[in-house]
Amino acid sequence: MIDGENVKITYVRWSMTIIEMNGLTVVTDPVFRLLGFRAAPREYTIEQLPEPDLILVSHRHVDHWDPWTMCRLAKDIPLVVRPHRIADDARRFGYTRVQELDSWSKTQVGDVTVTAVPAKHAGPEVGFVLEGEKTVYFAGDTSFHEEIFTVIGQRFDLDIVLLPIGGLHFFGLSAHIDPPQAVEALKLLRPQVVVGTHWGCAPSWPPITDMPGTPQELARLLAEAQVDVQVRGMAALETVVW
């Protein structure tokens, strides 16, 4: 864990990130197996995961809620999750410290305030804002939603946003944020730094599936639009310190 006011963030895969802030190691949407198969990047294994002080789970889709992983982590780790089915699953797996948060509900973990915020996706989902010495917004896998991003940007003075950017497509259709939509989202959220998530981890099999968005494309579009947000984390497993 780093000292002082810095936040340390590592994007792993899908919406799995490791956030180190205020003496806590927070893991979001931990996934090591997808439908039973090892998930890319395959070289990062569960044995390398630092012991979490807190796990945040945005929703129950298979690329965000992985029973294989959850059954192998320590059951006394605090979990903050969207209400109902995830919480039921976690308790069935043996987790003893499960807290369910609806949108705009909050809890305190150490020196960090965790607020669940609304999200828009193909099913019930939340994002989370972590407020400590810095303020970090983990967007989960939300689709673009102007009202949601406007309200979050107004309520919080965001330092860092963890935003999906891959634009995952199935048969040419997508409800996932791509780099052009991410530019519009960042205009509303107004952070200092963005770390892309939900990119580079799905196989490209056009026209069945594709995930074309990259941090490099996002950085180019932000520069063209003259949006003053730094893009950090140009590769999976690259650690960002801010």
What integer pLDDT is reported at residue 4 of this predicted model?
52
Q: For residue 147, is it within any domain?
A: yes
Could you list the beta-strand ranges (E) of 44-192. Answer: 54-57, 79-81, 98-100, 106-109, 112-118, 126-131, 135-138, 160-164, 169-170
**Could you tell me which residues are beta bridge partners of residue 54?**
26
Helix (H, G, I), strand (E, B) or coil at 80: strand
Sheet holding 230-232, edge to edge: 106-109, 112-118, 126-131, 135-138, 160-164, 193-197, 230-232
Q: For residue 170, is it within any domain?
A: yes
Question: Phi and psi for 32 in degrees, rounded to 5?
Answer: -120, -20
CA distance linking residue 16 with residue 29, whole number of Å: 5
**Domain membership of residue 222 as a residue range:** 8-241
CATH of the domain at 44: 3.60.15.10
- Which amino acid type is present at position 177? I
pLDDT of the chain, 242 residues: tens digit per residue: 344 579 999 999 999 999 999 999 999 999 999 888 899 999 999 999 999 999 999 999 999 999 999 999 999 999 999 888 999 999 999 999 999 999 999 999 999 999 999 999 877 899 999 999 999 999 999 999 999 999 999 999 999 999 999 999 888 777 799 999 999 999 999 999 999 999 999 888 888 899 999 999 999 999 999 999 999 999 999 999 99
What integer pLDDT is reported at residue 171 of this predicted model?
81
Distances (CA, A) of 197 to 62, 100, 175, 208, 233: 16, 24, 15, 21, 9
Q: For residue 193, is it within any domain?
A: yes
Token reading at 110:
């150490």
Please count the structural domains in the chain. Answer: 1
Output the pTM of the full model: 0.96
Q: For residue 183, is it within any domain?
A: yes
* ∠ Cα 12 112 122 (to 5°): 50
Token reading at 72:
């192998």
* Greatest extent of the chain over all pairs of C-alpha atoms, in Å: 50
Question: Strand 106-109 and strand 98-100: pairing?
Answer: unpaired
What integer pLDDT is reported at residue 183 of this predicted model?
98
Sign, Cα dihedral of 99, 19, 184, 159:
positive
Closest by alpha carbon to 138, among 98, 195, 81, 86? 195
Q: For residue 136, is it within any domain?
A: yes
